[in-house]
Chains A and B, each alone.
Chain A
Amino acid sequence: MKIEILFPEFCNLFGDMYNMKYLKMCIPDAEFIETALEEEPAFVKENVNFIYLGPMTENTQEKVIAKLLPYKERIIELIDKNVVFLFTGNAVEVLGKYIENEDGSKIDGLGIFDVYAKRDMFHRHNSYLIGKYEDIEVIGFKSQFTMMYGDNTKTPFIEVEKGIGINKDSKIEGIKKNNFIGTYLIGPLLILNPLFTKKILEMLGVDNEVALKEDTMAAYEARIKELRRL
């Protein structure tokens, strides 16, 4: 089992790297590869089972787009081959058509998904979310300068019960195509959602229980109750 973390020296905001630490606790015998921005990603030539990209600064988005652009076809191929991807926070924007600045200027993305993002650096959106993914509930937090637009109804990740989807008028959060998951949810998403983590393990063909199951479940259930009360 090979798990590749892309550009952790840059894409490590909001405590998201603990998603990988938790995954390591769930799959202790997996090999974790940390690829620096200067290096060629392992997925280009090797078979990896899981590719992770965390949230990053706006300048870093441009560097990451430039880095991944030559591997666009390979990424499409891997998505089609059901390789598991998890892109959190604004990492998902890298694979969209473009990111638009307030002044109308645009940064071209990889164009793998038919969506685009609009920045508003003077207004940071903060919210929580409860929603349905398959037969489970997913909870999480958003904190972002951008909103995403375009049609994600054919590739939905979460059907939102409370909170917003990819933008304030949307009730569908993120993108899920085959085993690719891209979501604006940030932070320790896997730790907050042991049932979702179990789904990821299933996607990877791993039969393990999630780590710290009893305690992560207690925190998860308490959080759901709390969010429903609000």
Chain B
Amino acid sequence: MRKGFRFYIALWGAKFGTMILKLFRRNATFFPGKFALKVCPDFIGKIEKPRTIIAVTGTNGKTTVCNMIEDILKDNNYVFIDNKYGSNIDAGIATTLISGASLMGKAKKDLAVLEVDERSAPKVYPYLTPTYLVCTNLFRDSLMRNAHTEFISGILTKYIPKETTLILNGDDLIASNIAPENKRIYFGIDRLPTDTEKCENIARDIIACPKCNTKLFYDYVRYNHIGKAHCPKCDFKSPEIDYLATNIDLKNMKLTLKNGNLIEEYDLISDNIINIYNIVTVITVLKQIGLSQKQINESLKKQKIVDTRYSEEVVDGIKIITHLAKGMNPIACSRVFDYVRKYKGNKVVILFLDDLHEAANGSENIAWQYDTDYEFLNNDSIKQIIIAGARYLDGYVRLQMAGIDKAKISCQRDEMSALDNIKLNGIETVFILHDLYSMELKESAKKKVEVMIRTKIENKA
């Protein structure tokens, strides 16, 4: 593609802007790209790109998967560019490509790992052809932005370049069917003892066959539409898995990965099914680009799910777990609720799930709460639920709609005051579930709960 005058103005202007922003210690992860795209709308197409591009998209897990791929590659001395600290839309991707290019627009590195927001497909893929495009899963997400899974899978199918090899979650009947003409590799997890024949979740986006409308027969359901299914009338079915995780051994924290005749063992760094999927995804991608089992596993063992997403600490015998539960994202929240209910021992659950931006400037649309399995919190081991924030009254109704006894629920507008109502007697774990934009609130709440636990123990003494 001929670059032209506008391209160089865009590139040099963006590079100059990056320098200025860095001088003032500001993040240069979005605006340089935004400027470049304003000056030269097909900038992403014109800039020279690394020879191998791994793009990661999907509703949930793309950030974790990218972080893990990047950390393992770095640990194995690979050099690459990534948008780890930048945005995952077109401007962020342009910024990453600018940072990885010379003043003449030549790529300085051979490899890129890019997280790409699925909604940005029309603005990214016409100009950038990923060598591999990973789709972690496709679920209901923010209904205001992403509408529904058919819309998202539709735009992915429309815009993904035909030359791209797809790495898809074969246990997800929606994600596994995007861009059907493309070359594809499926990863998945073999049937688990916890899989069921009936789905417990509210949101299921593929109940009937998309080809003939017949109700699908699920051989087993893991959660939502994740599982294995086939149409009893036509040939629609879950695909054969290329990289299949078997023997998920939570006691010894190991998994076995089958790829044809090859059988390899890997370490698990989390017992959460979401993270096990993330690990299997990462291994599949890295195997695909040529890393050995030893290279992957030695680095994998050093990985840790980042503290902003999950942390645990024991204070005088009571565990405090903070867990990200993205508000407005029904499946992400439901998975966390499921994890909480299955976690051993008696617990208190604190819910800070409101969108703080909406709380300050608008009035949050709570439709997502009714796609979310609050019913999972209706569990004997959950002794108390504290719900606070702008939408505390809506949350109070939602919890009751889930059949949760009023006596178990404490609701209040002010988040920190709401914590005063915690009853710690007989409690082994306090879960603080928080939205992505409630990090400060989560930290303050965690500190307050720590103090409350210590005070309680001292008073007892």
Contact = CB atoms under 8 A, between A and B. Distances in A.
Question: Which are the 7 A-B pairs with shortest beta-carbon distances?
Answer: A15-B370, A187-B367, A219-B393, A57-B150, A9-B207, A18-B370, A141-B365
Contacts of A15: 202, 330, 367-371
23 contacts: A9-B208, A9-B215, A13-B140, A14-B370, A15-B367, A15-B368, A16-B370, A18-B370, A22-B401, A25-B401, A38-B208, A57-B148, A58-B150, A58-B151, A60-B150, A143-B147, A187-B366, A188-B369, A191-B370, A192-B366, A216-B397, A226-B363, A227-B363
Contacts of A9: 207-208, 215
B240 interface: no
A36 interface: yes
Interface in B325-368: 330, 362-363, 365-368
A218 B411 CA distance: 13
Interface string A42-66: 0000000000000001111001000
B215 A36 contact: yes
Interface in A50-95: 57-60, 63
Interface residues of B, number: 30
Which of B144, B362, B365 has the most C-beta atoms of chain A within 10 angstroms of its own C-beta? B365
Contact of B363 (A22, A124, A191, A223): A223
B214 interface: yes
Contacts of A215: 393, 396-397, 400
B215 A38 contact: yes
A18 B367 CA distance: 10
Contacts of B396: 215, 219
Contacts of B366: 187-188, 192
A206 interface: no
Contacts of B251: none
A27 interface: no
A14 B151 contact: no
A58 B150 CA distance: 8
Contacts of A145: 147
A121 B371 CA distance: 23
A17 B330 CA distance: 14
Please classify how large the interface on chain A is, using the bins under 10, 10 to 19, 20 to 34, 35 or more: 35 or more
B393 A222 contact: yes
Given A15-B368, A222-B393, 19 more contacts: A9-B215, A10-B208, A13-B140, A15-B371, A36-B215, A37-B208, A38-B208, A38-B213, A38-B214, A59-B150, A124-B145, A128-B362, A143-B143, A186-B143, A187-B366, A188-B366, A188-B370, A191-B401, A227-B363
B163 interface: no
Contacts of B400: 212, 215
A176 interface: no
A191 B330 CA distance: 18
Interface of B: 140, 143-145, 147-148, 150-151, 202, 207-208, 213-215, 330, 362-363, 365-371, 393-394, 396-397, 400-401
A87 B394 CA distance: 23
B361 to A, nearest CB: 8
B208 A17 contact: no
Given A57-B151, A188-B366, A188-B370, A212 B144 contact: no
B363 A13 contact: no
Interface string A189-230: 001100000000000000000001001101100110011001
Nearest to A63: B213
Contacts of A17: 202, 370
A59 B214 CA distance: 15
Nearest to B155: A121
A105 interface: no
A186 B208 contact: no
Interface string A1-44: 00000000110011111100110010000000000111000000
Contact of A124 (B144, B202, B394): B144
Contacts of A219: 393-394, 396-397
Nearest to B216: A9
Nearest to A141: B365
A95 B150 CA distance: 22
Contacts of A18: 370, 401
A218 B400 CA distance: 14
A209 B150 CA distance: 38
Nearest to B361: A230
B347 to A, nearest CB: 24
Given A128-B365, A230-B362, A13 B215 contact: no
Nearest to A128: B363
A223 B363 CA distance: 8
B367 A141 contact: yes
Given A121-B151, A143-B143, A143-B144, A21 B367 contact: no
A219 B362 CA distance: 16
